[in-house]
Amino acid sequence: MATTANPSRDDFAAMLEQTLGGADSFEGRVVIGTVTGIENDLAVIDVGLKSEGRVPLREFAAPGQKAELSVGDEVEVYIDRVENANGEAMLSRDRARREAAWDKLEAEFAENNRVEGVIFGRVKGGFTVDLNGAVAFLPGSQVDIRPVRDVTPLMDIPQPFQILKMDRKRGNIVVSRRAVLEETRAEQRSGLIQSLTEGQVIDGVVKNITDYGAFVDLGGIDGLLHVTDLSYKRVNHPSEMLGIGDTVKVQIIRINRETQRISLGMKQLESDPWEGASAKYPVGAKITGRVTNITEYGAFVELEPGIEGLVHVSEMSWTKKNVHPGKIVSTSQEVEVMVLEVDEDKRRISLGLKQAQQNPWEAFAEAHPVGSQVEGEVKNATEFGLFVGLDNDVDGMVHMSDIAWGISGEDALNLHRKGETVQAVVLAVEPDKERISLGMKQLERGAPTAGAAVASGDRLNKGAIVTVTVLEVRDAGLEVQAGEDGQTGFIKRTDLGRDRDEQRPERFQVGQKFDAMVTGTDRSKKPTFSVKAMQIAEEKQAVAQYGSSDSGASLGDILGEALKQRGGDQE
């Protein structure tokens, strides 16, 4: 083929067609063309084909910028079609840039390198990013480490991205800005954590507050300020002392360089109130404090900011047992307590609420010595006695043997009911055992004094016949008095006569007098009497004196004669 000195346009096309195998082989390729003119918003580009192509100027401009293009500039374009219906070449600058960008992006993706791009639009679920011609998708969750409400400041600004995945056939690219930030932050954290030391005091900014503490930004790395390290005093929630955005001075307590976790403290910058607590709060001292917290097992009392002691439920009241502490004290109440035990190492102080008050049993003993008379309500009746409510919420017990004279304890218990008001005598008080012994029968008229005994020469010797006066009629029998001012005693209903009809206490009246036999004394040395025993003794005596088993006289005749003789003797 002859070489032409000055080849024409047709010659150039012929040679190009010969080299590439025809014009159709240009389609789908990126070639270099020359800008031959600019018409309105279009650039006329010659790529050496039969006709020129026109490309919109916007395709030559970066997102948000104006195209800078002049006649004579060489540019890369993509040949979509060699000739359209108008006989012009179908060219695309975007496709050219996209193809070139894909080649470069695939290489960067293979090397796991960052790429530069510009966020230029919003789509459902995220944003579009221009990677120098290739359009990628940026999910909303991959924009920043934390959710971003307004992305406007991040748009139209060149910035690095990390390619997460790409599929050239589908034209799909997914990128992440968050991955770049996390990697950068990790590098900063690693460098910063190496510069920190335990015990160092540093300023930080509160970023987040939770129930268990607060996260503080130390300038690129976060540390946890636990609620127990906020202050020596009780803190129920960190928000009581901190707010988001507050600048605080903290001390680094611990650093775990492997997990990059940092523990912070604020109370460590204050003086420890527990130092010398044993000297400030000696055992036995009475102190006023404020109730800060109430639990099922007791109440916490603040003695000073940073020092709390526990009043166990067993040390809250002398008299209220098995009662929830909330029914004895209330939160924020000022109370006086006594120090029971101090352990500085374990930071524990045991307190007593009841010890700061007078022992009610000691107070009762002072106000009511043995022998004094008291009055109270029967709180409870048990199988062995009665419990009587007394002053200061203490109870005294009347044993069943001290309820009444001359009857059994069981019968005596049946004479009284719960809620009844009774009077009694103080027999003994034992404050250390929290016990008060009472007696009710000791208040009855003629009751013997402790240690008293019936004299051997007294006419109340066992077997003596005495005249008694009825003092009280009861279901169980009669309370009687021997003589005018003698001792009182009791006659059981079964001792009121031999016959069942005679054993009815209601047939007697108060003040009525009759004879009875002294049968002995009860446990309290009080005399007991019996009409029945007297009748039996008189019968035996009459039979022995006035008749015999073979005299032929009837028992009625014998007793009639005996009674007649007894009447004559009395006259």
The highest-level CATH class for domain 9-97 is mainly beta
Q: What pLDDT is attached to residue 64?
A: 63
**Taking a C-beta distance cutoff of 8 angstroms, is the pair 290, 303 a contact?**
no
Fold of 283-356: OB fold (Dihydrolipoamide Acetyltransferase, E2P) (2.40.50)
- pLDDT on residue 288: 92
Q: Which of 146, 127, 124 is nearest to 135 (CA)?
A: 127
Domain 454-571: CATH superfamily, name plus number:
Nucleic acid-binding proteins (2.40.50.140)
278: exposed, middle or buried (Cβ count in 10 Å: 0-12, 13-18, 19+)? middle
Query: In the chain, where are the structural domains located?
Result: 9-97, 112-182, 196-269, 283-356, 360-443, 454-571
Residue in 78, 85, 43, 79 with CA at minimum distance from that of residue 61: 43
Mean pLDDT of the chain: 81
At 96, which helix (H) or strand (E)?
A: helix 93-110
Cβ atoms of 117 and 175 within 8 Å: the answer is: yes
**pLDDT number for residue 63:** 63
Same fold, 9-97 and 112-182: yes
Give the residue ranges of the chain where pLDDT is below 70. 1-28, 62-65, 80-89, 92, 94, 406, 445-459, 484-485, 523-525, 545-571
Q: Which fold has domain 360-443?
A: OB fold (Dihydrolipoamide Acetyltransferase, E2P) (2.40.50)
Q: d(Cα 230, Cα 221) in Å, to the nearest integer? A: 19
CATH among 1.10.357.10, 2.40.50.140, 3.40.50.300, 2.60.120.10 for 196-269 = 2.40.50.140
Q: Quick one: fold of 112-182? A: OB fold (Dihydrolipoamide Acetyltransferase, E2P) (2.40.50)
pLDDT at residue 224, rounded to an integer: 92
Q: Three-state secondary structure along 386-439?
A: EEEECHHHCEEEEEHHHCCCCCCHHHHHCCCCCCCEEEEEEEEEEHHHCEEEEE
